[in-house]
Amino acid sequence: MNLTLKVWRQKSVHDDGLIETYQAKDIPIEASFLEMLDIVNQRIIIDGGEPIHFDYDCREGICGQCSLTINGIPHSKERGVTACQLHMRKFKDGDTIWIEPFRAKAFPLQRDLMVDRSAFDRIIAAGGFIDVRTGSAQDANNLPVAKTRADSAMDAAACIGCGACVAACKNASAMLFVSAKAAHLNLLPQGAPEKDKRVLGMVRQMDAEGFGNCTNLYECEAVCPKEISTENIARLNRDYAVALAKEATV
Amino acid sequence: MSSSTCSICHFWQSSIGKKIVVALTGAYLVFFLAGHLVGNMLIYQSSEAFNHYAEFLHTMLHGWGIWIFRIIMLVALVLHIIATIQLTAANRAARPRRYQREATMVAPRSSRMMIWSGLTVLVFFVFHILHYTVRVQSDLQVLADFKQNWAMTIAGFQNLLVVLFYILAMALLCSHLSHGVGSIFQTLGLRTKKTAKGIQLFSKAYSLIIFVGFISIPISVYFFGMGKKEMEATKAKVEAAVQAGLTELPEQDNAH
């Protein structure tokens, strides 16, 4: 298949950047989106140009490294996939595809399609962990956890921290990420004792990083490759209010 | 004291805290709209019922009631507006460089223009207060002085521009509420996977009821001539009373 690519090129943080057009000819439909970019890059290198820089790692949808906004939607409009798991058969011959980085003030652009997402690491460092060793796996049923609760925690834990939620949010809010990371610990007995401290720490770090505010548009949930529910955001809102009230009074 | 004062600062300065302020003040305004609509519906019952209701509002709690309500309303409105403007400014700043090609997956247009629908409703709110509460139009003021609120309302809707602006504002209010009502639940942490659909339906139904309910009055009055004869008769009586130097209508007229 033959495609026209409109790709964001930017040499550095300080550079202005612009959209450049590339013709991607003879792309096999079984190629993944990143393989398509590999093919295009190979040709750019042969022609003596600078290849398009983009982030990737596992290429099997679990590491959260790919950060492409495809036709205005992070990881493309296909539901529940990362860009590396997107295949060219989802496009039509002759399509024009816009490829841009994840855009947010808190994700400073490094080069072309690569952004610095270490703001997420700092949010995790502000409370997204358990302070003490919780030991190795216990005997079954030694520590009772309701099935529904375990399921909710597991669903939240599926977050791979790719940042598509931020990129898709009209306000560049990180609430889906933060709420998922808080929920997967808060819901379980090992994480529950530090719930208030965790929620306050993570939310404050999130605000300090310059992410926007959630306005309940649910775009994050729609693009999330792991289909994390915005139910977690409601839970975080509630937990934050309670934690703040406790901090002020207890 | 210092720690709790600081907590209020923390609450206001945090993204979630400010959103909770928006949700709580929004909830108050939503309840107010429902009450306002129910009161307005008395316009269809009779002039007497409507005037009686207006009288009740102005005299409840020895006249304090309406002022308590107005002050809470003003505080809620000011907090709602300041918080949302600050949040919107922060949201714009959070993405200094926009996408060259923008796309949206699920968010309806109404949810993405909250600040504009809200500000239009604010302009309408100011107009509405000047129109029916402050009554800058002298003929409406005279009718109100004679406790003829029903006739005053009908008289106020004899102007096409007023009616059109009213309908436009209510359409934007409907748009604002269709996202806002559901958002109250999410922001206060009351929305779950199981209740999400129900909340969305409630939000849409509520905003539609508010829209249809409110616009039905100016439409009935202007386009279908509802109450015009009675309003003109009342106006004539009031004018005669003014000529005669009276401060209220003679008893027999008030009785019916």
The predicted-structure confidence for A183-203, as pLDDT tens digits, reads as follows 999 999 999 999 999 999 999
The predicted-structure confidence for A103-149, as pLDDT tens digits, reads as follows 999 999 999 999 999 999 999 999 999 998 878 888 888 889 999 99
DSSP state of A23: E
Structure token digits, residue B189: 């942490």
Asked if A170 and B112 touch (Cβ cutoff 8 Å), the reply is: yes
Q: Which of A13-17, A77-81, A190-194, B3-7 has the lowest mean pLDDT?
A: B3-7
Query: How confident is the model over B43-52, as a mean pLDDT?
Result: 94
- pLDDT for residue B1 is more than 60: no
Average pLDDT of chain B to the nearest whole number: 92
Closest residue to B193, CB basis, from A71, A105, A231: A231
Kind plus residue range of the DSSP H or E element containing A100:
strand A96-101
The pLDDT score that the predictor gives to residue A136 is 84
CA distances to A26, A88, A170, A226, A228 from A80, in Å: 27, 16, 19, 6, 9
For residues A99 and A172, membership in a common domain is answered with no
For residues A104 and A154, membership in a common domain is answered with no
The pLDDT score that the predictor gives to residue B256 is 46
Nearest-neighbour CA in chain A from B196: distance (Å): 9
At residue A21, what are phi and psi to the nearest 5 degrees? Answer: -105, 135
Query: How confident is the model over B14-35, as a mean pLDDT?
Result: 96
Residues 117-176 of B with CB under 8 A from A: none
Q: Can you give the residue range of the structural domain that contains A96?
A: 3-111
Spell out the domain ranges in chain B.
17-93+107-247
The pLDDT score that the predictor gives to residue B255 is 45
For residues A53 and A92, membership in a common domain is answered with yes
For residues A142 and A55, membership in a common domain is answered with no
Local structure of A96: helix, strand or coil: strand
When the candidates are 1.20.1300, 2.60.120, 1.20.120, 1.10.3470, the CATH number that belongs to B17-93+107-247 is: 1.20.1300
- A3-9 and A96-101: which strand pairing? parallel
Local structure of A6: helix, strand or coil: strand
Which residues of chain A make contact with B193, given a CB cutoff of 8 A? 229, 231
Tell which of A237, A239, A246 to mutate to test the B interface (max B CBs under 10 Å). Answer: A237
The pLDDT score that the predictor gives to residue A139 is 87
User: B252 pLDDT band (50/70/90 cuts)?
Assistant: low
For residues A134 and A213, membership in a common domain is answered with yes
DSSP state of B42: G
| Percentage of residues of chain A with pLDDT beyond 90 | 93
- pLDDT for residue A57 is more than 80: yes
The Cα–Cα gap between A88 and A36 comes to 8
Angle of CA points B172, B177, B181, to nearest 5°: 170
- pLDDT for residue A249 is more than 60: yes
For residues A67 and A122, membership in a common domain is answered with no
For residues A243 and A135, membership in a common domain is answered with yes
- pLDDT for residue B126 is more than 60: yes
Q: Does B197 touch chain A (CB under 8 A)?
A: no
Structure token digits, residue A16: 């202005």
Nearest-neighbour CA in chain B from A173: distance (Å): 8
Nearest-neighbour CA in chain A from B202: distance (Å): 16
